[in-house]
Amino acid sequence: MRLKGLKNRARDRRGFSLVELLVVIAIIGILAAIIAPNAFKAIEKGKVAAAEADYKAIKAAALNYYTDTGGWPKEQATPSNDPGFVADPGTTGWNGPYLERWPARNPWGGNYEYHNDAEASGGFDGDDATERYLRITGVPQSAAARIDVDLDGAEDGESGIVRYGAEATVSVDVLISADD
Ligand SMILES: [Ca+2]
Ligand SMILES: [Ca+2]
């Protein structure tokens, strides 16, 4: 009985000709070619939008912190830690939390780093004026360019409020405030 059943199934399989299988494979291939890039683009767009929303929330938190305390948050020894938006750093006038939580990871798996640049060289723009900026690490070049287009007037990694290098994966620096 079992043997007979197997024979029947084998006969049924012969119902698919090679041409039919090739047609099915071709259709799957065409669908994948149409859907995959769009799905990929949608995911990348979502990540960029999420990072921009995080930047805006962090910038708003920094401005509120400044309004309450009269100064900008200090850069932490580990700049990917909460600079005092969530937990009270012991600063006079602090009336937070200014953020529900400090995001541990950005959408690409890297960090958000708050920098309060007081360096004579390096930092946000290499000059000796101080700036507050958010560094988003581990961002693909194409996403960096998108953030630049969205938040900055011009797409140029070396100017404006969005700055980043030319490598395939970059740290994107986005200005929070250049005022003292
Ligand atoms: Ca500077
Ligand atoms: Ca720019």
CATH number, residue 61: 3.30.1690
Q: Is the pTM of this model over 0.85?
A: no
- Write out the residue range of the structural domain in which residue 133 sits: 2-177
Phi, psi at 117, each rounded to 5°: -80, 115
Name the band, by pLDDT with cuts 50, 70 and 90, for residue 126. Answer: confident
Round the average pLDDT of the chain to a whole number and report it. Answer: 89
What's the rounded Cα separation, in Å, for the pair 104 and 94? 22
Residue 49 has pLDDT above 90, yes or no: yes
Edge-to-edge, what's the strand order for the sheet holding 131-140?
112-117, 131-140, 169-177, 162-163
> Cα(160) to centroid of ligand 1, in Å?
13
Least confident of 64-78, 101-115, 149-163: 149-163
Number of domains in the chain: 1
The number of C-alpha atoms within 13 Å of 28 and in the hemisphere containing its C-beta is 6
Tokens 């509120």, residue located:
64
Residue list, CB under 5 A from ion ligand 1: 123, 125, 127, 129
